[in-house]
Amino acid sequence: MALSVVFMGTPAFSVPTLEAIVEAGHRVPAVYTQPPRKAGRRGLQLTPSPVQTAAKALGLEVRSPVSFKAPAEVEAFAALGADVAVVVAYGLLLRQTVLDAPRFGCLNGHGSLLPRWRGAAPIQRAIEAGDAMTGMMVMKMEAGLDTGPVGLTGEITIDPRETAGELQERLSALSAELMVVALEELEAGTFTFEDQTMLGARTGREPLYARKIEKTETPIDWHADADAIARKINAFSPMPGAWTMMPFGGKMERVKLLRAEAVPGTGAAGTVIGDDLTIACGNGAVRLLSLQRAGGKPMATTTLLRGTPVPPGTICSES
């Protein structure tokens, strides 16, 4: 017997989980997603979220409240009479009255190995910190930020040159797989949870907060350690994107850095020291593997260098 599942999500990351729930035969009385946002060059066109687009294609009802502060929104949610709500990157605060409305509460798909990396940017912060492993967890939501007990865990290895965008795709697929299993166990009455305090003690993972990435973090300081710089570039790719100023035709241009690796090398920090766009850092060097010039498309560094040499001795900077 299928469950009645309200789905709540917004970005493309959430879509595979919604599709998997429907494919598994569960009934979805409504899909909640954030309202359409202004987009386009002039910011005049309203663009629906990827979840709204997917839900419409599946023939599902879509609701887009600005918040759940109004009692009427909470009442409308509760009136669905759902067995459970599944939340994957929804982006709105859920009050306790919302969390308590479904029969089995709300399950959240979270992209880290809790209690490590609670917060807004767990995937990016895991790469930036140099974590060897990450994963998806299905937890029961409670009032605290990502503090609820965990029911299922899926672990994956982070490749040293993997970008946040690539890791998000893998975790998105894993989220879909885990949530289907979680709903099967919930329906069978076999789904159990482990308190995060106990989980952290058992695994040795200490709570860390994955704060939102700010624009002030995105310029590269080449005086830093090469390993840290390469991790930051990969962690911030494709969005918001780490960047540096680089001269082309005698004019400094802001270049978005999309993939990098730390390599041996010495030289003045910020100086190109190789024909393959290797840049000296405070300790070691970073080889840029892909980038995006202002107004251009992402490209491999080898493609850029075929038409636009960046010779050794070129100076890159934050401004």
- Tell me: is residue 319 an annotated ligand-binding position: no
- Tell me: is residue 317 an annotated ligand-binding position: no
* Nearest residue to 180 (alpha-carbon basis) of 39, 298, 23: 23
CB 29 within 8 A of CB 80: yes
Q: How many CB atoms lie within 10 A of CB 264?
A: 8
Cis amide linkage into residue 36, ω under 30° from 0: no
> How far is residue 258's CA from residue 288's CA, in Å, rounded to a whole number?
8
> How far is residue 243's CA from residue 217's CA, in Å, rounded to a whole number?
10
The helix/strand/coil state of 31 is strand
CA 158 to mean position of chain CA atoms = 14
Q: How many residues does the chain have?
A: 319
- Phi-psi map region of 191: left, alpha, beta (phi>0 left; psi -120 to 50 alpha): beta
Q: How many CB atoms lie within 10 A of CB 250?
A: 5
- Tell me: is residue 122 an annotated ligand-binding position: no
CB 258 within 8 A of CB 298: yes
- Tell me: is residue 114 an annotated ligand-binding position: yes
- Binding site: what residues are annotated? 112-115
- Binding site for (6S)-5,6,7,8-tetrahydrofolate: what residues are annotated? 112-115
